A and B are shown apart, each in its own frame.
Chain A
Amino acid sequence: EAGVTQFPSHSVIEKGQTVTLRCDPISGHDNLYWYRRVMGKEIKFLLHFVKESKQDESGMPNNRFLAERTGGTYSTLKVQPAELEDSGVYFCASSQLKSGQNTGELFFGEGSRLTVL
């Protein structure tokens, strides 16, 4: 069974450009999460989809970040325009957790490293 896959593995762009990161969750997982780790900091939650709906987007840093999950399958995270402080590793995770559950395993991808110059 394929795990969570993320693309690209590494992206280098200049400040002001746009980047779109993609995440393919494990098939059948309704829950999809985005996290990021900025250099030297902790892994931070960004947002959570249940199917195509945004369940929790409290961690999105600002309106330069746009996440979508059309059709409830794969998700994209677009950064437009990118700033230097957006550099870091963006992780996607998926799970089969049902509404009201607070436990269960999250499966993470290997991350997309973003470098903004």
Chain B
Amino acid sequence: DAKTTQPNSMESNEEEPVHLPCNHSTISGTDYIHWYRQLPSQGPEYVIHGLTSNVNNRMASLAIAEDRKSSTLILHRATLRDAAVYYCIHPSHQGGKLIFGQGTELSVKP
């Protein structure tokens, strides 16, 4: 199964940028990198995904290393509502099944 490595937890101050790292050294050439997050008492929600180029959307940016063995999710201005567990995932080829790791628990201080 796919395998990623993330720090267990990170802290941020409100209104400051947050960089959440992820290592995925076993990623194959065609595997996309997905990020999901789980807010307290909710189901996981999609954040962003990418293959080789850096990606931006309304929620976040994704910076992918040139060798694709690591990536960084960037929240440009953290808010209290961004406190969640963030998962870096690369899906299997079997219908997009997601393999969740432990994720990074992000806490945001006012």
Do they bind each other?
Answer: yes
Residues of A within 8 A of B (CB): 4, 31, 33, 35, 42-45, 48, 50, 55-56, 91, 93, 95, 97, 99, 101-111
Are B42 and A99 in touch, CB under 8 angstroms? no
What chain B residues lie within 8 Å of A43 (beta carbons)?
Answer: 38, 44, 87, 100
B interface residues with partner A (beta carbon < 8 Å): 30-32, 34, 36, 38, 41-46, 49, 51, 87, 91-103
Determine the main DSSP class of B at the interface with A.
Answer: loop
A76 to B7, CA, bound (A): 35
Separation in Å of the B32 CB from the closest CB of chain A? Answer: 4
**Is the pair A105, B91 in contact by a Cβ cutoff of 8 Å?**
no
6 A-B pairs with CB atoms under 8 Å apart are: A45-B97, A45-B99, A55-B94, A91-B44, A106-B36, A110-B43
Name A101's contact: one of B31, B87, B96, B101 (CB within 8 Å).
B96
Looking across the interface, which residue of chain B has its beta carbon closest to that of A101? Answer: B96
Residue of A nearest to B94 (CB): A56
Q: With A102-B91, A108-B44, A110-B42 in contact, do A33 and B100 touch (Cβ < 8 Å)?
A: no
